Chain A
Amino acid sequence: KQEVTQIPAALSVPEGENLVLNCSFTDSAIYNLQWFRQDPGKGLTSLLLIQSSQREQTSGRLNASLDKSSGRSTLYIAASQPGDSATYLCAVWSGNTGKLIFGQGTTLQVKP
């Protein structure tokens, strides 16, 4: 059974720091991995989607990497800003289940 774990559960950093969020998954048979952002009381916004054949994707200050063989992904946020404060969710499209499996999220607070 595919399981997705995100560490840490919560993170607080001062504005301007570069930071890394971690995601691990137990079954390497995935089609893609996505990173989402969730603001309080709101739905999820897709940030980056990495196909299983890709190693990384970049969008602005965000960079996501994927190492399928080791079952890991990282989301790198450069020069963090208070507006980056949100919960970040990692999800894999699992080949065995044919559906998106989410981690529990990392709640990020960027202090001004």
Chain B
Amino acid sequence: GAGVSQSPRYKVAKRGQDVALRCDPISGHVSLFWYQQALGQGPEFLTYFQNEAQLDKSGLPSDRFFAERPEGSVSTLKIQRTQQEDSAVYLCASSPRSSLLTDTQYFGPGTRLTVL
């Protein structure tokens, strides 16, 4: 079956532009996560949704970052007034249930954002 998909795969933005990154989780998956992965580093947690509810946004680095999942399926991560330090790969992951401690997460291929 289809895995987690993300679009666009690559995005180049000028500093100060707004960007929107899309994640299509595996159909029926309850939980959805966003991570930020800088070059040569492991992913860092940004935010977590259970269905449409954003239960944890403690990893969002600033108020320029905003995520939503209005119908409990597709999610969008929006970054306003992009800065060079926002350049990274943004990974989306989903898991089938809300029992996070036992379910593995299925990752998408990521969106590579470059801010010039």
A residues adjacent to B (C-beta < 8 A): 4, 31-32, 34, 36, 41-46, 49, 51, 89, 91, 93, 98-105
Contact = CB atoms under 8 A, between A and B. Distances in A.
Given A4-B42, A103-B42, A51 B102 contact: yes
B49 interface: no
A34 B100 CA distance: 12
Nearest to B100: A93
Contacts of A46: 104-106
A64 to B, nearest CB: 13
A102 B42 contact: yes
Contacts, number: 55
3 closest A-B pairs by CB: A102-B42, A43-B107, A44-B107
Interface of B: 4, 33, 40-45, 48, 56, 58-59, 91, 93, 100-102, 104-110
A41 B109 contact: yes
A104 B41 CA distance: 5
B108 A43 contact: yes
A50 to B, nearest CB: 11
Contact of B43 (A31, A44, A45): A44
B102 to A, nearest CB: 7
B42 A105 contact: yes
Contacts of A32: 101-102
Given A32-B101, A44-B91, A93-B101, A99 B45 contact: yes
Contacts of B44: 102
A91 B41 CA distance: 12
Given A31-B101, A93-B101, A100 B109 contact: no
B42 A99 contact: no
